[in-house]
Amino acid sequence: MNTQSAKSVALPVATCLAGLACWSLVCSLHFFSTSSLPSPVDVASGFNEEVRSGRLVADVAASLYRVGIGVVLGTLAAVPFGLWLGYYQWPRAALMPAVNFFRSLSPLAWIPFAILWFGIGDAPVIFLILMPAFFTLTLATAAAVANTPEVYFRVATDYDINRMALLRKVTFPAALPQIITALRLTAGIAWMVVVAAEMVSGKDGLGFAVWDARNGQRADLLVCNMIVIGIIGVMLDRLLQCLTTLRSVRWGYER
C-alpha cells in the first residue's frame, strides 16, 4: 500500500475514532440523559439486539428493495426520454420547463397522493422514489445530449451513420459520463426519500424502524438505525462510483 492509499484509509479511521471519543466524553459528563443521547456502548448493545432479532437485516433488505426498484424504473423511463428531449430542440423547449418544475418539487410533497393512490406498503414508497429519480435523470440526460459537441454528429454524418446507430454509437456514449454522475446523485436522493417515506407510509424498512424507535423511546436503536442508514448511503455511492472507472466512460472523467 502506497503512502497516498494509507492516508486515504488512516485519516477517515482517525476521524471516526476521534468522533467516538468525543461522543463517549460527552455521555460520561452527563450533559444529556441516556434517553436523549445514548452512549456508544448502549448503541452497540442495541445494534447487537437488532441483529440477533433479525429485524435489522429485514429492514435493510426492505429499504434497499424499494430504492432499487424505484431507481431502476426511473432510470429506464428517464434515459430514453432524456435522449429524445436532448436530441430534438422543439420538444425540449416545450417540455423542459415542466421537467424542471416537477424536479424542483420535494418528493415528500407527493406523500398524500401516494397514500391515496397506492395505500400503505411498498407501492407508495417506490412511487415517491420514482418521481425524483425520473425527473432528475431526465434533466441530466437531456442536458448531456444537448451539450454534446456538434463535431461528433458531423463526423457521424460524414460516415453515413443512420439515426439508430448514431444514438447507439455517438449520442448515448457521449452522454453516459454525465448520466452516471446524475445517477449517483439520484441514488443519494432516493436513499434519503425512502427513509422519510417509510416513516409515513411504510410497514417496515429503516425509516419505519427509526420512527418506531422514536415512538418506543429507544434512543439507542434510533442512533443505531441512523448509523446504518449513513453507512449504506456511502456504500451505495461508492458502488456507483465504480461505474466511472469503466473503460467506455472513463474518458469523460479524465478530460
Whether residue 213 contacts residue 206, with contact meaning beta carbons closer than 8 Å, is answered with no
Secondary structure class of 67 (helix, strand, coil):
helix
Number of domains comprising the chain: 2
- Cα dihedral 55, 58, 61, 67, rounded to 10, equals -70
Q: Which three cell numbers stand for residue 138?
A: 431526465
Q: What is the number of alpha carbons within 13 Å of residue 171 lying toward its C-beta?
A: 23
Q: Which amino acid is at 133?
A: A
Looking at the fold, whether 124 and 55 belong to one and the same domain comes out as yes
Looking at the fold, whether 177 and 67 belong to one and the same domain comes out as yes
Looking at the fold, whether 212 and 242 belong to one and the same domain comes out as yes
Looking at the fold, whether 90 and 14 belong to one and the same domain comes out as no
Looking at the fold, whether 17 and 139 belong to one and the same domain comes out as no
Model confidence pLDDT, tens digit, residues 14-28: 888 888 888 888 887
pLDDT for position 204: 85
| pTM assigned to the model | 0.84
Tell me the C-alpha distance between 120 and 122, whole Å: 7
Tell me the C-alpha distance between 192 and 73, whole Å: 17
Any idea how long the chain is?
255
Helix 55-87 with 89-104: angle, nearest 10 deg: 150
Whether residue 183 contacts residue 249, with contact meaning beta carbons closer than 8 Å, is answered with no
Looking at the fold, whether 13 and 73 belong to one and the same domain comes out as no
Give the number of other CB atoms < 10 A from CB of residue 213.
20
pLDDT for position 16: 87
Backbone angles phi, psi at 216, to 5 degrees: -85, 5
Q: Give 246's contacts (C-beta < 8 A, 6+ positions apart).
A: none
Whether residue 92 contacts residue 101, with contact meaning beta carbons closer than 8 Å, is answered with no
Q: Which three cell numbers stand for residue 140?
A: 441530466
Looking at the fold, whether 7 and 69 belong to one and the same domain comes out as no
Looking at the fold, whether 41 and 91 belong to one and the same domain comes out as yes
Domain region containing 182: 34-254
Looking at the fold, whether 247 and 147 belong to one and the same domain comes out as yes
pLDDT for position 1: 54
Looking at the fold, whether 41 and 86 belong to one and the same domain comes out as yes
pLDDT for position 174: 80
Secondary structure class of 1 (helix, strand, coil):
coil
Model confidence pLDDT, tens digit, residues 129-174: 999 999 999 999 998 888 877 776 677 666 667 667 777 777 778 8
Looking at the fold, whether 8 and 67 belong to one and the same domain comes out as no
With a cut of 50, list the residues of the chain below it in pLDDT. Answer: none
Kindly tell me the sign of the dihedral angle through the C-alpha atoms of 237, 243, 245, 249: negative
Looking at the fold, whether 24 and 105 belong to one and the same domain comes out as no
**Which CATH number goes with the domain that contains 154?**
1.10.3720.10
Secondary structure class of 8 (helix, strand, coil):
helix
Alpha-carbon distance values, 222 to 27, 134, 208, 228 (Å): 16, 31, 11, 10
pLDDT for position 42: 87
Terminal C-alpha separation, the chain: 27
